[in-house]
Amino acid sequence: MLVLRSVFFTIVVPGTVTVLIPYLILTGSGAGWPMPWGAWQYLALAPIAVGTGILFRCIWDFARVGHGTLAPIDPPKELVVQGMYRYVRNPMYFGVLILLLGEAAFFASDGLLYYAIAWFVMIHVVVVFYEEPALRRRFGESYESYCLSVHRWLPGRRFGQAATMIDVPRRE
């Protein structure tokens, strides 16, 4: 049942953000398929593939480790600090941003670029003012330690006392 819920919410949530809305932006501007492929389109496939891979890996970790989905109505029951979450607190959003920027490059679309930027600003506000406070209430001290150990947006770990919380070797 968890697999079906994950598939459903993957189609609905990231599907809307990365497929439906970009499609509407492109068709509204008269751009889209068919279009000639050039070097730029082939290069843009790399961030699209990387972003998609990150997104699917995070959805898998939410289901396997967290026993939940990416949807706010069916969130993980356990704090996920494994996989890509060991290096950045919001890898799913980071992956979607990379994917959206790849789509903007693929279609050479200013509209998609502006959408990606606006989407990221909106997500940042949601993360800071809703998600993080909700996770602090839900997971308490373990989430607080996690925040002290891992950056919000840029991959990389913070080393020090709090970093030991996620199996970073302790320096003595």
* pLDDT one-digit tens code per residue, 18-29: 999 999 999 887
Q: Which long-range contacts (CB under 8 A, 24 or more apart) does 158-166 make?
A: 165/81, 166/81, 166/86
pLDDT value at position 62? 83
Q: What are the angstrom distances between the C-alpha of 83 and each of 1, 27, 55?
A: 23, 37, 12
Domain boundaries, the chain: 2-166
Please say whether the structural domain 2-166 has been given the CATH code 2.30.130.10: no
Please report how many Cα atoms fall inside a 13 Å half-sphere around the Cα of residue 125, on the Cβ side. Answer: 6
Other CB atoms within 10 A of residue 93 CB = 24
Residue 3's pLDDT band (cuts 50, 70, 90): low
pLDDT of residue 114: 97
Model confidence over 54-71: pLDDT tens digits? Answer: 999 988 888 888 887 777
Unique residue bearing structure tokens 């930027």: 117
